[in-house]
Structure 1
């Protein structure tokens, strides 16, 4: 039977619990360790989704990959969650990253961070992935939400739920699971083949797409569902590099060259992370003050974002502008191909609604009133369902996941969950929708 290393902590060690995230995998809490005097994160996985054996595997992968650029595990949690009844829960206790993730940073900034910070994030992720591969591990789910940020916006890799011992580093005849992990927008073309067995080149491709996302300040292919990505990526389509054509930044040309080499169609042509580190190290600002100024600029912006008086105090209008200004891909087209865009039939430009301080009743009314529009335009259906967590029954999740198109998925979600879910469920759907499709609300 698998065992967990490190010490086990219970409720006697933790206080001031706060739910900070949830999804189909389970829940993440922030808690204060009474003896240590600082906050930790506690990740609780649904037993039905991730049994104890898988929890052990994730914990062991974190221990093997422990370094400055990978999230640190402090130990194991075992106890009864606050307001969670009397059942014993198992979880992983790890570092709490104050600034969320690259994904949450993109949303708060409404665009990319300053270039010195872009280059540092690119380098730190490469360092973490290089160490991971040196330990014969793969990540298999490298994306903005799994690159976490501490108080000084330094990056650490997280979520090893999909990590596996690298098949390219083994000489044994051990059978592989055949599972294809990761978010589909970050999966390489070969991963869409049913018989694909992941190797390290999988992570390198994901890193290339991640670099584009960090530099552009947005997700790739904003309106593309799984079926469209599965069709177009093997044909050679990639995120548009021309969004950077009007940008002048020292090192940007080298960064674009690296990302395009990483997302090469042939796994054999993609560089190793050791080679990536050699490139990203040269992109770091020559003057330390440049990165200090960039971090300070972003942190000030984040403080303004949460300040109730920030909009009034900013009379210049600069608060809503991105910190750097590459041409942003619009959400009314799918940005595929290095030199092309594939147009969609989306009509979401006409679907902009006021969202000022809506309560749950208002959100539920919006979801009810705009059923047809949402079925037509929502593409990130499964990502939204992941955020709804237990609000979507497991059987319903499987039924929706089996649908071929995003419209069919949305129609099933309305019929099976939203129609009878009440205000709380509809409000949660609205909040998730605002996160994934802000222009629809």
Structure 2
């Protein structure tokens, strides 16, 4: 089907089978069936209290200018009244305005972020190489059109049914900056801070293409490792570390023997160089990833099949990012936590000298006896038993209540309307974002409410 013009609205009369599949600071994302096109689409709706429609059309304008297999397709725009329940569109009181949104390609397998959660780690190596190459291809497409993404991270790399990657939410950082509380009121920058270059923490900074290159380097580290960079969810600590030269630790890659790993590690170091002028151009980045993937192509079929055999998490076409009003995410346990544990062990100074420091060993603050499990041990239990817990835990909302503010209110509201297994999957997304501290708090609540299950699983 040819790409639709974003000037042609899609109305309620064309859509059925609505289902909410994602949310974030921008608003909500739904899956719906287009009656005449006969396939599913994703519809992104901006919250009325957060953004005005021009920012939505800015994103539509960017999407309409791209025609690349690694960039999400725009089919049109939406204007109508969202269904309150079921498939029937409810008529609103007279005078209430309709809502507007983008009608986009629906990505069946969610995002790279949700893939990490399903696998509890990195994808098979051939798939890692293809993801790295497809993301680079998407950025190259944008940069050749003099466009920038500004918000590269795992949740903004979406996956189709065959696990091909496509960039989404490009320009979202500009949308967020214009729609949320201005920088001058908070004194802090917006964006996905763990993927932001050091110069971006200067409030007068204006993004250029080297911003995307740095973010790609951190994203590449995440794709290879299967996890989020930096253990701390305190934006100020991360900012201070990044501006000092800290980068994600490469020590764990030393034991990996996959073909092309050395090339990708060298590439990510070039991309996250402290000096923006010394970062490579995207066409050179893509040449490297293309060469690495060309040597792994023969294994891609088996790699994709291996992943597709893993039970799939609930549909999540768009990023389900839980952001605080000032975009500072901090899922801290009520227990006082140490400032940082497991500090990143690579430091890239302005002169590009690299300091391989061992992870800082900090006494676990909640260890009360030799038999008490550490945060890391509890986190591992929660990760290792994900499938069993999703299938057997019934008191999801009771656990959520005990976690308190560690679970974002948007996630809590979504969980209330889902089935118990899907609510549990939604809760797991919060656990993954919060790190071992939140997983440990989840474990404690789980052990109190389901002691026999925890014992049965070896906890």
The question of a shared fold, defined as TM-score above 0.5 by the shorter chain, is answered with yes
Q: Report what 2:153 is aligned to.
A: 143
Q: Report what 1:100 is aligned to.
A: 110
Q: Report what 1:357 is aligned to.
A: 393
Asked whether the 8 Å contact 1:69–1:128 carries over to 2, the reply is: yes
Asked whether the 8 Å contact 2:126–2:297 carries over to 1, the reply is: no
Give the C-alpha shift of residue 202 in structure 1.
0.5
- Gapped runs of 5+ residues in structure 1? 166-177, 307-330, 369-373, 392-425
Asked whether the 8 Å contact 1:78–1:91 carries over to 2, the reply is: yes
Give the C-alpha shift of residue 243 in structure 1.
1.0
Q: Name which of 192, 204, 211 aligns with 1:195.
A: 204
Q: Name which of 428, 431, 452 aligns with 1:434.
A: 431
**SS in structure 2 at match of 1:284:** helix
Asked whether the 8 Å contact 1:263–1:270 carries over to 2, the reply is: yes
2 CA distance for matches of 1:218 and 1:41?
Answer: 26
1 CA distance for matches of 2:341 and 2:304?
Answer: 32
**With structure 2 as the length reference, what TM-score do the two structures score?**
0.71
Question: Does structure 1 residue 297 correspond to structure 2 residue 306?
Answer: yes
Equivalences for residues 166-205 of structure 1 within 5 A: 181-205=190-214
Q: How many residues align?
A: 355
1 CA distance for matches of 2:293 and 2:21?
Answer: 32
**SS in structure 1 at match of 2:172:** coil
Asked whether the 8 Å contact 2:341–2:360 carries over to 1, the reply is: no
Q: Specify whether residues 385 and 276 from structure 1 end up closer, same or farther in structure 2 by C-alpha distance, changes over 3 A only.
A: farther
- 1:322-359 Cα offsets, whole Å, 9 max, x none, are xxxxxxxxx95233425223456664664538765132
2 CA distance for matches of 1:301 and 1:189?
Answer: 37
- 1:188-221 Cα offsets, whole Å, 9 max, x none, are 0111112111111110000000000000000011
**SS in structure 1 at match of 2:274:** coil
Give the C-alpha shift of residue 111 in structure 1.
0.4
- 1:132-168 Cα offsets, whole Å, 9 max, x none, are 0111111110000000000000000001243669xxx
Q: Report what 2:15 is aligned to.
A: 14
Give the C-alpha shift of residue 50 in structure 1.
1.8
Q: Specify whether residues 427 and 128 from structure 1 end up closer, same or farther in structure 2 by C-alpha distance, changes over 3 A only.
A: closer
Question: Does structure 1 residue 244 correspond to structure 2 residue 258?
Answer: no
Displacement over 6 Å in runs of 4+: 426-429
Question: Does structure 1 residue 279 correspond to structure 2 residue 288?
Answer: yes
Give the C-alpha shift of residue 301 in structure 1.
2.1
Give the C-alpha shift of residue 75 in structure 1.
0.2
1 CA distance for matches of 2:304 and 2:426?
Answer: 33
Equivalences for residues 216-235 of structure 1 within 5 A: 216-235=225-244
2 CA distance for matches of 1:234 and 1:215?
Answer: 23
2 CA distance for matches of 1:358 and 1:90?
Answer: 37
Asked whether the 8 Å contact 1:285–1:291 carries over to 2, the reply is: no
- 1:395-439 Cα offsets, whole Å, 9 max, x none, are xxxxxxxxxxxxxxxxxxxxxxxxxxxxxxx99995553232362
Asked whether the 8 Å contact 1:101–1:148 carries over to 2, the reply is: yes
RMSD of equivalent CA atoms: 3.0
Asked whether the 8 Å contact 2:188–2:203 carries over to 1, the reply is: no
Q: Report what 2:29 is aligned to.
A: 28
Asked whether the 8 Å contact 1:101–1:147 carries over to 2, the reply is: yes
Q: Report what 1:254 is aligned to.
A: 263
Q: Specify whether residues 345 and 203 from structure 1 end up closer, same or farther in structure 2 by C-alpha distance, changes over 3 A only.
A: farther
**SS in structure 2 at match of 1:148:** strand
Give the C-alpha shift of residue 23 in structure 1.
2.1
Q: Report what 1:418 is aligned to.
A: none
Q: Report what 1:115 is aligned to.
A: 125
Question: Does structure 1 residue 366 correspond to structure 2 residue 367?
Answer: no
Give the C-alpha shift of residue 284 in structure 1.
1.0
Q: Report what 1:55 is aligned to.
A: 56
Q: Name which of 195, 204, 221 aligns with 1:212.
A: 221
Give the C-alpha shift of residue 386 in structure 1.
6.6
Q: Specify whether residues 179 and 31 from structure 1 end up closer, same or farther in structure 2 by C-alpha distance, changes over 3 A only.
A: farther
Q: Report what 1:335 is aligned to.
A: 344
- Gapped runs of 5+ residues in structure 2? 176-186, 315-339, 348-355, 367-372, 383-388, 416-422, 443-459
Greater displacement, 216-225 / 233-242: 216-225
Q: Report what 2:71 is aligned to.
A: 70
Q: Report what 2:135 is aligned to.
A: 125
Q: Report what 1:46 is aligned to.
A: 47
Asked whether the 8 Å contact 1:137–1:163 carries over to 2, the reply is: no
**With structure 1 as the length reference, what TM-score do the two structures score?**
0.74
Give the C-alpha shift of residue 225 in structure 1.
1.0
**SS in structure 1 at match of 2:43:** strand
